[in-house]
Amino acid sequence: MSNNRPSTLILHGNGIVLCWFLAVLPGFGSETVNLIGKWSLSNSDGSVFLGAEVPGCVHSALRQQGFIKDPYYRFNDVSYRWIAFDNWTYTTTFNASAQLRANQRVLLVFDGVDTVASIWLNGIVIGKTDNMFRKYDFAVRDLLSDGDNVLKVSLSSPVLYASEQRKAHSAYRVPPECPPDVQKGECHVNFIRKEQSSFSWDWGPSFPTMGLWKGVRLEAFDVLQLIRVSSVPLHNLSLSQWRVQVELLVDAVQTTNVQVAFSMPELDSEQILPTQFLPGKTRNIFTLNINTSSHVKLWWPNGHGERPSYRLTVRGFQGRFLILEAESKVYFRSVELVQEPVLGSPGLSFYFRINGKPIFLKGSNWIPAHSFQDRVSPAVLRNLLRSAVQANMNALRVWGGGVYEQDLFYSLCDEMGIMVWQDFMFACAMYPTEEDFMQTVRDEVVQQVQRLKSHPCIITWSGNNENEAALATDWFDIPASQRPTYLRDYVALYVDNIRAVVQEEDQSRPFLVSSPTNGAGSERQGWVAADPYDPHYGDTHFYSYSLDCWDWRTFPRTRFASEFRYLRTGATTVISLPTVNTTRTETSRCYDRRLYTSTCPTPRIPRRHSWILSTSLRLCRLSASRPRQSFTGEVRARSSRAKVALWALSTGSSTTSGRRLPGHPSCPSAEQILSHFGLGNVSELTVGHLGTICPAVLTQVLLPSCPFTEPKAVQPLDYSVWGYGFLAVTVINLASLLGLFLIPFTKKPYFPKVLTYFIGLAIGTLFSNAVLQLIPEALGFDPKSDNYVGNAVGIFGGFYMLFFMEKVLKMALRVDVEHGHSHFAAAELPPENSFPNGDTVETKDSIVLTNTAATGTGSPEPNLTSSRDGSGVMCHWLRGKQISDIRTVAWMITLSDALHNFIDGLAIGASFTVSVLTGFSTSTAIVCEEFPHELGDFVILLNSGMSVPQAIFFNLLSAVSCYVGLGFGILLGSNFAPNAIFAIAGGMFLYIALADMIPGDVNPSIRTF
């Protein structure tokens, strides 16, 4: 602001326009001296001394000066732990001019100190800091000297500080004490107000940073200083009128009477209001009523409309002199969180209305874009946010274990229409509630709300990440006798403290105490619900370390899923990365992704993708083809709008330093992945490189490829699966007894035709079950997508056509020699009338049924018992030949049939674990196949020399193996993906249908003699 620039104020009143030509009063201006740039940095004993950039952190400075290598490389997070255990000092020298020192007030301002520090100016301690998220200023006018002034910021180890704070809290523990050992992190992060994930998280390494991570400057003024202008548009629905609540945060040296003029010329709106600024920092609130004759254009989320802004000008006059001036952007939008009863469903709805319109939120969680905030450049932010928009996102949740993002992040979200769910920085822990801790939290919340509330992109505040759930579901094994203490602390911190401050500072948007939460339901239960994951209330977080995230049935049907993640094992290396245009085309195909409709299919993006560890752009997947609550697709479930946030969108936060996990060679290293793009592991990534890599990775829907090391939870046993499976196998086993019951019917002339019908039925059911169910399941395809059924029929229809044509030609040309392959083993045909009462015999490719009338014996009943009594060798009811006299083919058939039946049982068991419908479909196909199959086996056993009781016994014995297969199938299908079982069964079914049964059906293979 110029000290001498003339200004014009135009006042509208009674149709008269008055023009005052004014001059700025000398001495009312302020002066700012930036202290960013090159500082010196040293450790506690002076053994390390180097130059360091401010803003910056110790790790970045050491890396830039060559003292350490890339912290993300392999195990360097562990190798460089010593950095966070040492104390470090930033030092700079600056000159304070006489003009600057002549001002009534001179402040030394730190926009961000990470974290615990003592501030020294010319050898005198001027203040201390203990909160990374606060802005600090110190009065230094009387300490400045002519010439060089030495400023030192002495940073204490955050790890040791947190440990000391934990020791000082001796009344009761505040869990968790430490992160899991596998993370190689530091302890007691909940006792220090800094980025919680910097002590390690399940997705990132431990880098407890220290430094001056934001700007440092001197501010000098004589009368007053306008620190911040905040503007919040409010809409009066009954009057259909907008007003803008303008807040001026002013630091005045003395009481000052001012005429403040507010102007929005594009809306023909202006007001002049008298006010009095009291000494010190004061919050002054004004209301600018928007001219009702002006048409206000609204701010809309991405995909719903434009986002016009209006210019707000604020000027302060003392008499005829301009003493303050500022401009800011104003966006007009309203937001409501709707929680109301849902017709026909328990619980309450949970969705957002923007400008009176229900909006489906689709997007991701945002974790810090880098472990070192000074590395997050404007180009990085623009690239990430632009990529999110190109992926059709319209919302991001700024996760509570990271940082409140820089101003540019929120300004870009305003421009791009990305709605922001803003967590306060508390995550997955209990926190102390001593007064000094509560006070620094209050200061933190006040400053952050005042800084951010002008941004229309922010649609809700949330007090913490998962702390309600941690307390409600007892993550930390808190004894029942101590639970009231923790409940009291929880309410004191998040309700009585944070919520109270937010509601005082900003009434324009909703506040949620936690995420996940039951929202209004949690409030009715004293702010901690019995089940914060209840899908009928509020928002839900969903994690799976074993389920198939391509199976829509694994997703919960929630009101609003604000976070979910899959950890996918066994993903392959870099293959077929889709482009942004591909994803934009697929996800834009249906307006708003209304997933209940069949016209909006799942995006057909290649299933195998790379995980770029070095950039760590992490999404699980876009919502699938059936309703589930997600930030990634329009869903209407139980008359409520469902939403989802994917976990997580960021760059640079390497997961466990991008190291290879032992025993999982399929997990690619950062070097391997970068090499796919022609880059080396030490290459410097330019904006152009990010433009190539980031959009492709952003579209990935299956992450990550490196497995999580935590053991999988055993899924609960579903006894209905066992019941249905046992019933199906029992029915199939009864088919092994068909040979005994059908012997009297073999004399009937219609029996060969009936058998032919069942063989045809078996071919059809086996084939269709294999190609339309088992094989697609094995390959992970959805038979309902991409016209798979039609394609399968076309492919296998051609096979059938050629096969049948060959058979018809052989029949027409009377070719007697068959070259087909029969499932039944070839048996020697006994001499004619060797079975006096008629019997069934089988040749190479056919079952031959002999007619008892042709034998001339006159005996009406078959007698298939051998004349030789084997009762001395076997039990009485298995009388017949001795086992040594039975042909080898009988045992081959018995063993092969046992294996066949075992695989049948595997397929049935695995199918029932998928769904009851799938199980019955597979069982029906097997039943149709087992009728002719078991009859054929029975005949072969008789032809091999067995008596009827012996054939029944061994045929039934081989069938019993189906029960063993059933047990294995259910256990394997319940705890692992059943794809391998479906592949084996599908192949066997195709073999039996195409190569085994067709020759017996189209050939005149069932003959009557």
What's the angle, vertex CA 589, arms to CA 584 and CA 593, rounded to 5?
Answer: 95
- Neighbour tally for 102: CB within 10 Å: 13
Name the residue among 708, 710, 723 with its Cα closest to residue 667: 708
Judged on CB neighbours under 10 Å (0-12, 13-18, 19+), 810 is: middle
* CA-angle at 32, arms to 29 and 36, nearest 5°: 170
Helices 687-698 and 580-587, interaxial angle, to 10°? 40
What is the maximum alpha-carbon separation in the chain?
Answer: 135
What gap in Å lies between CA 397 and CA 381, rounded to an integer?
15
Would you call 466 a catalytic residue per the annotation? yes
Residue 463 to residue 3: CA distance in whole angstroms: 43
CA distances from 20 to 6, 17, 467, 906 (A): 10, 10, 58, 92
Contact 353, 359 (CB under 8 A): yes
Q: Is 407 helix (H, G, I), strand (E, B) or coil?
A: helix
User: Which residue among 195, 247, 405, 466 is the active-site one?
Assistant: 466
Bridge partners for 288 per DSSP = 244
Helix 948-975 vs helix 888-914: crossing angle, to nearest 10? 30
- Smallest Cα–Cα separation from 963: which of 732, 668, 788? 732
Amino acid, res. 354: I
Choice among 247, 563, 586, 777 that is catalytic: 563
> Nearest 5 degrees, angle CA 324-CA 327-CA 330?
140
Coil/strand/helix, residue 305: coil
Q: Which candidate, 404, 374, 375, places its Cα nearest to that of 90?
A: 374
DSSP assignment letter at 175: S
Partner residues linked to 419 by β-bridges: 395
Return left, alpha or beta for 329; rule: phi > 0 is left, psi -120 to 50 is alpha, else beta: beta
The helix/strand/coil state of 146 is: coil
985 Cβ contact partners less than 8 Å away, ≥ 6 residues apart:
770, 774, 903, 904, 906, 907, 910, 922
Instruction: Name which of 935, 877, 1000 is nearest 743 in CA terms.
Output: 935
941, exposed or middle or buried, with CB in 10 Å at 0-12, 13-18, 19+? buried
What's 572's DSSP letter? -
Give the integer Cα–Cα distance in Å for 620 and 647.
6
CA 947-824-985 angle, 5° bins: 120
With CA atoms as reference, report the closest residue to 77 among 545, 659, 523. Answer: 659
- Residue 215: how many CA atoms within 13 Å on its side-chain side? 9
Q: Is 435 labeled as catalytic in the residue annotation?
A: no
Measured between alpha carbons, how far is residue 485 from residues 169, 492, 498, 530, 626 in Å?
14, 11, 19, 17, 43
CA separation for the pair 377, 653 (Å, rounded): 15
The residues, any chain, with a CB within 8 Å of residue 505's CB and separated by 6 or more, are 445, 446, 449, 450, 453
Q: How far apart are CA 840 and CA 567, in angstroms?
A: 58
Residues 907 and 922 sit within 8 Å (Cβ to Cβ): yes
Q: Which residue has the tokens 């029944």?
A: 952
CA distance 337 to 517: 14
Please identify every residue annotated as catalytic: 466, 563
